Structure 1
Amino acid sequence: MAMGVEAVEEMFETLREAPWEAGNRALETSKNWPPNRDSKSPGPVGRAFWPRGCVKAGSIHRRGSPPVLLPRSVLDGLFSLSHRLFGITVEAADGQAPIWQRMSATSCSDKQQNERAGFYLTPIPSGNQTGGPG
């Protein structure tokens, strides 16, 4: 748990600094987008444009890999933040629950390691299907 105002301010500064480098890289990428064109500015583009543009440019491949909503590093950061703020630990429930996907079973425990909750988290979208990714 946060021990005081200074600890919370330090945490906010850490959260502010963490995405800075990635944000600068994304800004530079957008300045150079679209590749091999004469455009001097990126101009306004919608969210749907970037995946299509990246596929066309060859930087990502659509087939063979489903889109992941939350990479493991993002989940780890989120769970670390929940530990700092609330004193709870979120970790994989290896072997404690039946799972349909490797990253889906998760548990939550308090400072004394008492299990408080168990839930399924599937960071791969299943579209309109029900029952998890298929």
Structure 2
Amino acid sequence: MRILDNLDTLAAMSGEELGLSEWLEIDQERVDQFADATGDHQWIHVDRERAASGPFGGTIAHGYLTLSLIPLLGSQVFALETPGAKLNYGVNKVRFPHPVRVGSRIRSRVTLGEVTDLPTGKQLTLRQVIEIEGQDKPACVAETVVLLLP
């Protein structure tokens, strides 16, 4: 795991791949819990019987479930231990190129993007690519934004 603890050296690291997370299996229980938490019970996610004859041959994870796993997977790759508060500011771009079938394993490949000086601190972007084991296309590609306050 990479420890990012110096605000002054972050800009010099722009474009550097920080690493890969461990593989995480996406099971039906996680998908069902996400459906309950969000109220999104679309059959493609929770109805195993109907989904078996659907376009993917089984249930798939919600795209937003995959996106929501970025903090968990990213915490295996790097830690921001800079002084001051660290705030999730948003996501500039998100795409879901390939569905995650239940039973698949995913991991995150994290690359440091731009580091921008702001009057309140620094803005850091991270490119997060959620890979699916055995698939050429990723499950999710997202550019997340973090505010680092002094």
User: Normalization by structure 1: what TM-score?
Assistant: 0.27
Higher alpha-carbon Rg: 1
- Of Structure 1 and Structure 2, which has the larger fraction of its residues in strand? 2
Bigger relative CO (Cα 8 Å, ≥ 6 apart)? 2
- Of Structure 1 and Structure 2, which has the larger fraction of its residues in helix? 1
User: Normalization by structure 2: what TM-score?
Assistant: 0.25
